[in-house]
Structure 1
């Protein structure tokens, strides 16, 4: 089975059950959206998939990626890329160095520079390698964050409300930019949001979490 598969995921904290017996399958290039109010467990679900769920949570269920059970693997071995609300670029690094941080180990210096340059072209940011991230617009920062994630060669893309801080016009354009680039790499996508417009744009199955 290729893609992301969740089998009977359960999440609870402090005696409160947030998610119970959630199962879903996301094939390559597809998007499943999880919606719910703050505190319903949306971001915690992504944290469980990515392997960085806080110890305070009780969790159960299995996570499979391209047929392999990754439930017990450390985060760096799961190949789960994630985008957050904030771009989270390193302020002490140039744009190019931020992108280079996403590259997996290996390859010559020239090969790594070529991959960074290609990512900048793909993001329509040619010539920005030496720029300070603080000089970028919100949309430019978001594109750099996406390309850094994609350079790590993930096998799934987790989207933790990455469009929430953008204005309406930019949100629509960046949302399509993310979906198009992930689909070009055959990635399954799991989007969590409280915005119905995000769910409509994703166009795939919708899961609603009731708790808040």
Structure 2
């Protein structure tokens, strides 16, 4: 289980409180008004933002002081963070070797990951030669090869059209089911949360609340969420 124990996360003048747990293997949406701290929550779990107070644990392991690279976390950001001068194969390979020096085995694993996300035969293409949806698949493949217990998605598919976004969400759901990873996904779209997440964390009024069943939270939203959703 992922536990945030009496945590306070700082982001400039903004602070976010979190005292909650996420069960291993669960898929959890992180929803709430714009600017409420959803990305801040994921950044703290990934290790990109230190805690002002509290402890962060994964099972028996205390992650609080660990740098990002030593946490069991893979994070996919809004823009995918692909390097334009690298091929799809090389971009995926960074998930295996941050220095970019891939062995034959590494290349085979990166190629298999690209095939798994539907990009077989596109290994040599650079991002400019790929569509937006294909770029998202490359970024997802790079996360896939890291084989981490926790997968954090910060709206990586927000710029995609409805049909393609739904396709990518379904692919994420398949990959998470295969790997047994725990998923936390920031989303502004309730339909995305309902599609692949069993539970949801509401982030509002400087607080990340414990998870609730997604349908329960969205069918009977509290006033702050109802005002946001309209």
Short-chain TM bin: 0.7 to 0.9
For 2:6 and 2:176, the matched residues in 1 are separated by 26
1:72 aligns with 2:70: no
Contact 1:34 1:192 in 2 (8 A): yes
Residue 9 of structure 1: aligned partner: 7
- Which gives a bigger RCO, structure 1 or 2 (Cα 8 Å, sep 6+)? 1
For 2:60 and 2:170, the matched residues in 1 are separated by 28
- How is 1:151-170 mapped onto 2 (pairs within 5 angstroms)? 151-170=145-164
For 2:4 and 2:170, the matched residues in 1 are separated by 25
Residue 187 of structure 2: aligned partner: 193
1:179/1:89 CA distance change after superposition, 3 Å: same
* Alpha-carbon distance, 1:83 to partner: 1.0
> Could you list the per-position Cα deviations for residues 176-198 of structure 1 after superposition, in whole angstroms to 9, with x for gaps in the alignment?
11121122111001112221112
Q: In structure 2, which of residues 125, 129, 132 is the aligned counterpart of residue 131 of structure 1?
A: 125
What secondary structure sits across from 1:34 in the alignment? strand
> Could you list the per-position Cα deviations for residues 12-41 of structure 1 after superposition, in whole angstroms to 9, with x for gaps in the alignment?
456554x3243122312x111121112111
Residue 37 of structure 2: aligned partner: 41
Residue segments in structure 2 that go unaligned for 5+ positions in a row:
207-230
Residue 209 of structure 2: aligned partner: none
1:32 aligns with 2:25: no
Contact 1:104 1:152 in 2 (8 A): no
Residue 207 of structure 1: aligned partner: 201
* Alpha-carbon distance, 1:62 to partner: 1.8
For 1:132 and 1:14, the matched residues in 2 are separated by 36
For 1:16 and 1:89, the matched residues in 2 are separated by 29
For 2:3 and 2:79, the matched residues in 1 are separated by 27
Residue 46 of structure 2: aligned partner: 50
Cα root mean square deviation, aligned: 2.2
- How is 1:105-144 mapped onto 2 (pairs within 5 angstroms)? 109-144=103-138
* Alpha-carbon distance, 1:113 to partner: 1.7
Residue segments in structure 1 that go unaligned for 5+ positions in a row:
none
For 1:92 and 1:15, the matched residues in 2 are separated by 37
Contact 2:30 2:201 in 1 (8 A): yes
